Amino acid sequence: MKYTTFSREQNDALKEPMFFGNPVNVSRYDQQKYPIFEQLIEKQLSFFWRPEEVDVSKDRIDYQALPAHEQHIFISNLKYQTLLDSIQGRSPNVALLPLVSIPELETWIETWAFSETIHSRSYTHIIRNIVKDPSTIFDDIVLNEEILKRAEDISRYYDDLIDATRQYQEYGEGQHSLANGETIDISLRSLKRKLYMCLMSVNVLEAIRFYVSFACSFAFAERELMEGNAKIIRLIARDEALHLTSTQHMLNIMASGEDDPEMAEIAIECHAEATELFRFAAEQEKQWARYLFKDGSMIGLNETILCQYVEYITNVRMQAVGLPKAFETSENPIPWINTWLSSDSVQVAPQEVEVSSYLVGQIDNSVDVDDLSEFTL
């Protein structure tokens, strides 16, 4: 399977697997093997937003009045999110497009990655507004130990897949001795395994890694602080939920074996490794919470609550891809976050919205988990 930008193969795209079949030739959407990816594209397009539409000017005053330890929380989260979206804005394209074989999935990947570039641009919008010299923040992303630790664990799966794909396309399957004396063993199966684990790792990234930061942003806004930022984060969270759904679909289609029977075997083989990937990421995020609150908590959130939330959300996400829960926690310790994550009240013209006033009304109406003692699901 050598990559070409327009395969002359007169293939039937409805019979191609999602990945590792013929490269896509005609971008057509009148027929789809998996209509879900076309639906995701439509949904993502309907979510389109531009950072500049959100007025963040009041945030500057709020930010200056924050105590130093809360400024640390705010800025550190922005840095971490900038890292995550830097990776997500390019990696799905670079790693997945050379392998994809059906047009609706190819276009979903491109649409997905494009929306990540909007997220990245929104961080510049936010940062430019609150500090005079954005470089003081951006430059630290490649220096900050806490962020670098995470960068390594997130980019590794993508880099592995990209490298293995390159070797596979250059040499093909089998044993090869390279000019430098090294021998490499290339198999399609091991490449498929790398793809599966890469998708699992992306799923983890979008399932848990953003949520500590989301929670802090919304906790500020609950106090009517940094509301422009919260408005943007809310739009980002809405996109991320969609991205997460897309990798859940890919992983579950793979595990079912309906698309490529070998992928079902690989899903079983990778079960323990995938479980560990989730658990490890959750631990890393809990450490991140510790780092955020090292000089003090913020009103409405502390390390314990945030760690419980990470565990809760990890369990929910694991079950969605057929993995057993990693933690005991079954209750959401910050149910108010759901109001911010629900799309009912996300407005497309955000500048028209008095964020705090209409949100406060919403939060009063929201259901408190503690009240719900009669039945539990």
Partner 1 sequence: MTDKTDGKRPWVFIQGQQAFQFDPQQHDSLLEAMEAHKVAVHYECRSGYCGACRTTTLDGEVEYQHQPIAFIRKGEILPCCCTPTRDITLVRD
Active centre residues (catalytic):
123
Residues that bind Fe ion in the complex, under the rule CB under 5 A: 85, 88, 116, 119, 206, 240, 243
Q: What residue has token string 């658990």?
A: 279
Count of CA atoms in the C-beta half-sphere (13 A) of 346:
20
**190 touches, from Fe ion, partner 1, none (C-beta below 5 to 8 Å by class):** none
| Position 371 contacts partner 1 (CB under 8 A) | yes
Binding mask of the shown chain, residues 148 to 177, with x at each position contacting partner 1 by CB under 8 A: ------------------------------
Select the span of 148-156, 165-173, 312-320, 356-364 touching partner 1 (CB under 8 A): 312-320
Among 340, 337, 335, 314, CA closest to 235: 340
Question: Residue 113 or residue 242: which is nearer to partner 1 going by CB?
Answer: 242
**Residues whose CB is less than 8 angstroms from the CB of residue 352 and which lie 6 or more positions away in sequence, other chains included:** none
Task: Please list the residues that pair with 174 across neighbouring strands.
Answer: 186
**259 touches, from partner 1, Fe ion, none (C-beta below 5 to 8 Å by class):** none
| Position 338 contacts partner 1 (CB under 8 A) | yes
User: C-alpha distances in angstroms, 296 versus 65, 68, 95, 218, 307?
Assistant: 16, 9, 40, 18, 15
**328 touches, from partner 1, Fe ion, none (C-beta below 5 to 8 Å by class):** none
| Position 231 contacts partner 1 (CB under 8 A) | no
Q: Looking at 33, 231, 249, 286, which residue binds partner 1 (CB under 8 A)?
A: 249
Quote the least distance from Cβ 371 to partner 1, whole Å. Answer: 6
User: C-alpha distances in angstroms, 119 versus 49, 129, 248, 298, 359?
Assistant: 10, 16, 21, 25, 23
Task: Please list the residues that pair with 177 across neighbouring strands.
Answer: 183
**Residues whose CB is less than 8 angstroms from the CB of residue 122 and which lie 6 or more positions away in sequence, other chains included:** 51, 54, 232, 235, 236
User: Which residues are near partner 1 by CB under 8 A?
Assistant: 36, 39-40, 43, 238, 241-242, 244-245, 248-249, 252, 316, 319-320, 332, 338, 341-344, 367, 369, 371-377
